Structure 1
């Protein structure tokens, strides 16, 4: 009997891993939102600025021009997850109204009150489609490849050390330069603003806690989470 129970637990674990693994193996580019049976495609010119990543069995992030989101979630056995928390810096300076409104649609669709979220994969000839449906029946449609642009460039940034105490450094992908670096609290308040790239970013004035570092480069922007000790 114990052997049977162990086997069942093992099979359930393998099933859970098989469902979660495709999520964590790819970067997912948002194609459109479906809200109240109406399609809302990503605004023109920003087709690859919206992408999601899932990692470590609990972490997720959604890059967006106005309201990038980071948080944690819990997976269930039946291809569902519940979002535990979600944080975003409130920073939309200089962005068109259509971007602000689109980002707001995303924020409302992944509100914690819309738990649970059901996800399903569709395997196409040359890409995988991910559909995430919230409790209201609204959907977000993603692909595991960029959405047909002439350039495949994407800003890649490493931030270290993390956790940090008094300073951190940034290592940016070749062929790009940092323009500005801004640091936000989890409540969306801008705490620091570096208008020029630095060899080392002094954050000794920050209190211990979790912050978001928004890096703007020549080919895009990136949001990184940092812990200050």
Structure 2
């Protein structure tokens, strides 16, 4: 009987010890609350917002990759072999970058255009190499057949990443078409690019007469107010690529 009571007291002491450890060491126990998808994927940057300005996925040769393990975060730019890393404490939906350790930089061979992308993206995470924008919230959500990660800093800036590298559609003359041509009042624009595109109409003197952003596969533009003659349409995607087409107003 005495042995049985001692065993119960022993088990109770173990339980109390574990509870005390959870209370006194919450960061250590966050390991069990972390989302495993955060560590199991390489996250490819898609778009973000910094100081109220949206910035987009750079051209293909300027990929941005973010990875996590249980203790570190890596911001990597494989096109020029440059990476930034720091220690991190992660729980179920937020993380804190070390406030005592500076970001470690693996210097690559980056050119000025790449440095612009790197600087903008890094600014979501830190002011300088020793001042991070803590704390960060993160959300992982399913999108079609892949996952999407959104990281938001204390100031409300955010960056969005996909768990797969989505192919960028070709931006060429087959991406767009319009009809009728010549046109009288309404110009129908067919968007085969499947991404938002800025559209600007110019006259032969180079004056910008109309500007739109098209999101749908088929958009209509009223050009009834234009004089008869030749006009140019410039399509510009989020990566900065441009295409020029022509139409005639009756």
Q: TM-score range by the shorter chain?
A: 0.5 to 0.7
Higher RCO (CA 8 Å, separation ≥ 6 residues): 1
What is residue 19 of structure 1 aligned with on the other side? 34
Number of residue pairs the alignment of both structures matches: 144
Out of 106, 112, 115, the position equivalent to 1:89 is 106
What is the CA distance between 1:70 and its match in structure 2?
1.9
Q: 1:37 pairs with 52, 55, 75, which one?
A: 52
Residue 61 (structure 1) aligns with: 74
How many angstroms does 1:89 deviate by?
Answer: 3.4
Report the 3-state secondary structure (helix = DSSP H, G, I; strand = E; otherwise coil) of the residue aligned with 1:60: strand
Counterpart Cα distance in 2 of 1:99 and 1:63: 12
Aligned to 2:165: 146
Higher helix share: 2
Residues 117 and 86 of structure 1: CA distance in aligned 2, closer, same or farther (over 3 Å):
same
CA distance in 2, matches of 1:35, 1:103: 13
Alpha-carbon distance in 2 for matches of 1:113, 1:18: 23
* CA–CA separation in structure 2 for the residues paired with 1:83 and 1:25: 19
In structure 1, C-alpha distance between the alignment counterparts of 2:88 and 2:157, rounded to whole Å: 18
| C-alpha contact 2:34 2:90 (8 A) present in aligned 1 | no
Corresponding residue of 1:203? none
1:172-192 deviation line (CA, Å, top 9, x unaligned): xxxxxxxxxxxxxxxxxxxxx
Q: Deviations over 1:135-194 (max 9, x none)?
A: 1111110110012159xxxxxxxxxxxxxxxxxxxxxxxxxxxxxxxxxxxxxxxxxxxx
Structure 1 gaps of 5+ residues are: 151-229
- Structure-2 residue corresponding to 1:136: 155
Q: Secondary structure at the match of 2:60?
A: coil
The Cα shift of 1:106 comes to 2.0
- Structure whose alpha-carbon radius of gyration is higher: 2
